[in-house]
């Protein structure tokens, strides 16, 4: 059965005709992720599935794996995990982007369930994820000169009872007692069949993905085979993926963007995935060599998170022939308009936005690549799914659907919506009878296109006025000296919060706060949204997938405020201030006064009680 119709999806009418012409069950007969690789290998066994770049050097001889070989690796991995863990084992992995990572992920889902783990997390958090998921097999990268994955893996073996450690290391690496060598045991497994019968399929759990954050109780989102297949198919169909496409792989494989949108969806279409080093665009050499590599490997679809795309767009083409590129793809965070405009200037192509989240198997909406592109829009919902923008009631529940252009909370229903978290207690307020409350703010235009307006939790609420930080960030990104801008709320005794903006400048640029203020007042239409302060910083904290890490900035803003209050109102120059996320009011502020200032403790407590954070004042 052909995946796509003869007419690519360009408009909402095309999308509706696509849905009406054939039910999803006919368009997507695959029942397991293994079926994707079986089908691709049957159609084009010798077509390249993955091209793996390690260094990106001009003379590098990349490792290439065909679809027939990839199918064999997936089957071998599944057989390996079954031999280690029995029926439906839980397999966690801490791996950068490698061919072995794909073999591990899809093999684990075939034999049991996968637990992709962000290896940048601290050992304590990873241990909690392993315990919560029930995974007792951990696949980890062996000793590395830079990454500390193996050190963490050895610590985890001591912390988690019954954990079997599987090491991915170059052939010939010295054996370690009680550690399974991935390549050695893999070679002993058959590649032409499964030794345990049927693979996981349909509504069986294929994976548990952990959601963002590095503290607190782990939230593990269940992915089913049907959910992942529906998301991958929907993205490939509305994204106009073609078998002759070459897609740059820059997202990590512990994130749904890398595993579904730029992983399973690409394989479903039978395209070539160009993996741009184990670290993706976190690797400086890949950023500097991006356009040369795009030209060298004739990439047709190029992409990354907006911050990464902004970085590569600062790199000159230097004569690189990128004429094969037909589109750019970005997601995982909102796209500043200035980055989209710059992409078009450099490539002559449109940079299309994708919207997804872990709780929806990775994908929710896609601006159709075959279409003209709508600036600022993430397009329409995937085929066979429903996206609505709903009013947020005072009770915190989602209410009726908003009017055209009215900002509300995005809700999703469809076959790709997760059945829920592994711990059902986490479902409240997120999953409701098959409907997903995304917690994202958005609105729809007359054509039903979806536009994102930030996270509801990131709203800056100034005297009851809701301020979308994205509006501030987009305006400031247009300033010629600004490379990246991030707006957050700073606590205020009167207004509750005031907007402040952190900015990172372009190399060699200089700018004054007065200049930034002037630009803000000229370009931000809502006066309450004018930032109260600007902070020029060397770097803005980012998550491992390139999203701005707002909690760290909120803490930074609060720490600056409290330090100023102590200095200006109480003449305390040597008090220590530490701010962390948490508590009933979102921030915990710890103030330690010097012993010589003990008498000021009641006054400081009274001053800080006026703010919307939890203040703890003590004397050293």
CB 436: neighbour CB atoms within 10 A?
A: 22
**Residues 124 and 200 occupy one common structural domain:** yes
User: Range of 599's domain?
Assistant: 551-619
User: Which residues neighbour 87 within 8 Å (Cβ) at sequence distance 6 or greater?
Assistant: 112, 196
Q: Give 208-249 pLDDT, tens digit per residue.
A: 999 854 334 568 999 999 999 999 999 999 999 999 999 999
**CB distance 209 to 221 below 8 Å:** yes
**CB distance 520 to 476 below 8 Å:** yes
**CB distance 42 to 71 below 8 Å:** no
| C-beta contacts of 140-148 below 8 A and 24+ residues apart | 140/93, 140/94, 140/95, 140/165, 140/166, 140/167, 140/168, 141/94, 141/95, 141/96, 141/167, 141/168, 141/169, 142/167, 142/168, 142/169, 142/170, 142/173, 143/169, 143/173, 147/96, 147/119
For residue 352, the cross-strand partners are 329
> What are the tokens at 516?
């930034």
> What are the tokens at 427?
């479902």
**Residues 584 and 538 occupy one common structural domain:** no
**CB distance 340 to 351 below 8 Å:** yes
DSSP labels, 274-306:
EEE-TTGGGSHHHHHTHHHHHHHTT-SEEE--H
At 609 the pLDDT is 85
- Give the pairing of strands 137-141 and 164-168: parallel
CB 292: neighbour CB atoms within 10 A?
A: 18
At 614 the pLDDT is 86
**Residues 190 and 131 occupy one common structural domain:** yes
Which pTM value belongs to this model? 0.80
**Residues 164 and 86 occupy one common structural domain:** yes
Residue 359 inside a domain? The answer is no
Residue 10 inside a domain? The answer is no
Residue 463 inside a domain? The answer is yes
Residue 467 inside a domain? The answer is yes
Q: Give 82-95 pLDDT, tens digit per residue.
A: 999 999 999 999 99
Q: Residue 588's domain is classified under what CATH number?
A: 3.30.300.30
Q: Which residue in the block uniquely carries the two structure tokens 């783990």?
A: 117
Mean pLDDT by 10 residues, the chain (620 residues): 68 94 94 98 97 95 98 98 97 97 98 94 89 97 93 95 96 88 96 96 97 60 98 96 95 92 95 96 92 97 88 93 96 79 94 94 95 90 96 80 91 97 92 91 92 76 73 93 95 86 96 96 86 96 83 94 94 92 76 94 90 89
Residue 398 inside a domain? The answer is no
**Residues 530 and 564 occupy one common structural domain:** no
**Residues 481 and 574 occupy one common structural domain:** no
110's enclosing H/E stretch is: helix 99-111
Is the alpha carbon torsion for 27, 33, 38, 40 positive or negative? positive
At 458 the pLDDT is 79
What are the φ and ψ backbone dihedral angles of 123, each rounded to 5 degrees?
-55, -40
At 216 the pLDDT is 46
Domain end position, chosen among 165, 195, 218: 218
Closest CA to 123 of 166, 152, 160, 151: 152
**Residues 600 and 473 occupy one common structural domain:** no
> What are the tokens at 477?
């990104």
Q: How far apart are the first and last CA of the chain?
A: 72
Domain end position, chosen among 486, 520, 548: 548
Please list, residue by residue across 90-106, b when 16 or more beta carbons sit within 10 angstroms of its beta carbon and e when fewer do: bbbbbbbbbbbbbbbbb
At 1 the pLDDT is 35
At 462 the pLDDT is 80
Domain end position, chosen among 488, 518, 548: 548
Q: How many domains does the chain have?
A: 3
**Residues 504 and 595 occupy one common structural domain:** no
Residue 192 inside a domain? The answer is yes
**Residues 538 and 556 occupy one common structural domain:** no
Task: Count how many residues are written for the chain.
Answer: 620
Residue 268 inside a domain? The answer is no
Residue 402 inside a domain? The answer is no
Please list, residue by residue across 248-260, b when 16 or more beta carbons sit within 10 angstroms of its beta carbon and e when fewer do: bbbbbbbbbbbbb
Closest CA to 256 of 232, 280, 230, 236: 232
**Residues 603 and 485 occupy one common structural domain:** no
Please list, residue by residue across 294-329, b when 16 or more beta carbons sit within 10 angstroms of its beta carbon and e when fewer do: bbbbebbbbbbbbbbbbbbbeeeeeebebeebbbbb
**Residues 188 and 71 occupy one common structural domain:** yes
**Residues 609 and 537 occupy one common structural domain:** no
**What is the C-alpha separation between 2 and 67, in angstroms, rounded?**
18
């Amino acid at each position: 059965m052909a995946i796509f119709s003869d007419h690519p999806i360009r408009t909402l009418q095309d999308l509706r005709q696509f849905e009406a012409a054939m039910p999803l069950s006919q368009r997507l007969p695959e029942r397991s992720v293994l079926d994707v690789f079986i089908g691709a290998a049957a159609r084009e066994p010798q077509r390249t599935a993955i091209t793996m770049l390690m260094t990106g050097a001009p003379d590098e001889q990349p490792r290439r794996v065909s679809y027939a070989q990839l199918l064999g690796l997936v089957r071998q991995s599944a057989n390996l995990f079954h031999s280690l863990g029995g029926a439906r084992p839980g397999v966690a992995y801490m791996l950068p982007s490698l061919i072995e990572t794909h073999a591990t992920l899809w093999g684990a889902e075939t034999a049991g369930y996968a637990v992709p783990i962000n290896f940048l997390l601290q050992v304590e958090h990873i241990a909690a994820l392993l315990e919560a998921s029930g995974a007792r097999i951990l696949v980890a990268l062996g000793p590395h000169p830079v990454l500390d994955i193996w050190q963490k893996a050895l610590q985890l073996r001591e912390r988690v009872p019954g954990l079997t450690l599987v090491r991915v290391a170059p052939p010939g690496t010295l054996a370690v007692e009680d550690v399974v060598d991935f390549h050695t045991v893999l070679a002993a497994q058959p590649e032409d069949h499964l030794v345990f019968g049927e693979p996981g399929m349909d509504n069986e759990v294929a994976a548990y993905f952990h959601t963002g954050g590095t503290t607190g109780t782990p939230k593990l989102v269940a992915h089913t085979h049907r959910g992942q297949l529906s998301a991958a198919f929907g993205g490939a169909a509305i994204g106009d993926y073609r078998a002759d496409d070459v897609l740059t792989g820059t997202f990590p494989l512990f994130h749904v963007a890398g595993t579904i949108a730029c992983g399973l969806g690409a394989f479903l279409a039978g395209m070539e995935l160009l993996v741009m080093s184990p670290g993706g665009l976190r690797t400086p050499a890949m950023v500097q060599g991006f356009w040369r590599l795009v030209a060298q490997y004739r990439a047709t679809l190029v992409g990354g998170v907006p911050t990464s795309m902004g970085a590569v767009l600062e790199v000159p083409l230097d004569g690189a022939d990128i004429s094969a590129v037909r589109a750019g793809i970005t997601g995982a965070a909102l796209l500043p308009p200035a980055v989209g405009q710059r992409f078009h200037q450099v490539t002559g192509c449109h940079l299309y936005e994708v919207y997804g989240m872990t709780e929806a198997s990775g994908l929710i909406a896609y601006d159709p690549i075959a279409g003209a592109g709508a600036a600022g829009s993430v397009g329409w919902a995937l085929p066979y799914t429903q996206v609505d923008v709903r009013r947020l009631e005072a009770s915190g529940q989602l209410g009726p659907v908003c009017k055209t252009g009215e900002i509300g909370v995005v809700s999703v229903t469809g076959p790709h919506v997760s059945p829920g978290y592994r711990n059902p207690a986490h479902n409240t307020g997120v999953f409701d009878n098959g409907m997903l409350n995304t917690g994202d703010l958005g609105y729809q235009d007359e054509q039903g296109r979806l536009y994102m307006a930030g996270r509801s939790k990131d709203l800056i609420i100034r005297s009851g006025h809701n301020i979308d930080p994205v509006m501030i960030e987009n305006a400031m990104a247009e300033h010629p000296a600004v490379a990246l801008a991030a707006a957050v709320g700073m606590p205020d005794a009167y207004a509750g919060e005031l907007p402040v903006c952190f900015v990172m400048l372009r190399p060699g640029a200089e700018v004054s706060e007065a200049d930034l203020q002037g630009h803000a007042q000229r370009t931000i239409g809502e006066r309450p949204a004018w930032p109260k302060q600007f902070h020029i910083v060397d770097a803005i904290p980012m998550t491992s997938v390139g999203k701005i890490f707002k909690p760290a900035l909120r803490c930074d803003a609060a720490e600056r405020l409290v330090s100023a209050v102590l200095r200006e109102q109480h003449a305390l120059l040597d008090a220590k201030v530490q701010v962390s996320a948490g508590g009933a009011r979102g921030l915990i502020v710890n103030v330690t006064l010097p012993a010589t200032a003990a008498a000021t403790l009641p006054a400081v407590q009274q001053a800080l009680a006026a703010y919307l954070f939890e203040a703890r004042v003590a004397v050293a």
